[in-house]
Amino acid sequence: MAKTQDWQSSVAGKSVLLTGASRGIGAATARLFAKAGAKLGLAGRPSDALHQLAKEIGAPVIPCDVADYAQVVAAVQAMVAAHGGLDVLINNAGVIDPIAPLAQADPDAWSRQIDVNLKGVFYGMRAALPVMQGAGRGTILTIGSGAAYNPLEGWSGYCASKAGAVMLTHTAHREAGQTVRILSLSPGTVATDMQRVIKTSGINPVSKLEWSDHVPPEWPAQALLWMCSPESDAYRGKEVSLREPGIRQTLGLTA
């Protein structure tokens, strides 16, 4: 595991809003950030898993569907009310369904995927940026994907939404200038429930990967912690890739 002590000061005592925290990368990130002393808010649609995690780490659940702008604004304002501001927003919520050829994809499910994976990122940025710009500081991190750059059969909505989310990072960085730190993370394939769904689909090469081919969710969690620190400033407006050996070396991660 990576050594986190050099990065803890970047989130200790900071107000951090995390979406999609109930499992996978989100749950691993919540545990790591709580250990690092962050004042977390777990934003998501209430579930047993989310409430159990909240109880485990002592963080509040903030009911929020990221596809609803009003709910995202309310989540940001809840953090401001509780902590006097918002220091970090992590846009982690995302869905892989529908996995289907474009000509067969359910239009409603495809639209929902865009609502969560793309519009949800925009809503988060739109709600958080005025607060952070007003305070003169802040960090916005978004979970990206290699699917943003590589078309994959059956993933039209996922690839399109992730490509759009990367462009939102680029654009927001240009607009925010030096006031707000805005970065994206491409974690590679991660051993989460999403990979089980992908495996079951049997569509495209990713479904052929074995469980051992995926990195543990603690790896992207470590990367997100590092991305909250000035050490990652060279990547502002860009995407950090966990596929890069240099990044893994920086984070102290080994295969």
Annotation marks residue 123 as catalytic: no
Residue 221, φ and ψ in degrees, nearest 5: -60, -45
Per-residue H/E/C for the chain = CCCCCCCHHHCCCCEEEEECCCCHHHHHHHHHHHHCCCEEEEEECCCHHHHHHHHHHCCCEEECCCCCHHHHHHHHHHHHHHHCCCCEEEECCCCCCCCCCHHHCCHHHHHHHHHHHHHHHHHHHHHHHHHHHHHCCCEEEEECCHHHCCCCCCCHHHHHHHHHHHHHHHHHHHHHCCCCEEEEEECCCECCHHHHHHHHHCCCHHHHCCHHHCECCHHHHHHHHHHCCHHHHHHCCCEEECCCHHHHHHHCCCC
Q: Which residue matches tokens 């702008």?
A: 69
Catalytically annotated residue among 69, 123, 158, 235: 158
CB contact burial 192-218 (16+ within 10 A = b; e otherwise): bebbeebeebebbebbeeeeeebbebb
Distance CA 35, CA 30 (A): 8
Query: Which residues are catalytic, by number?
Result: 158
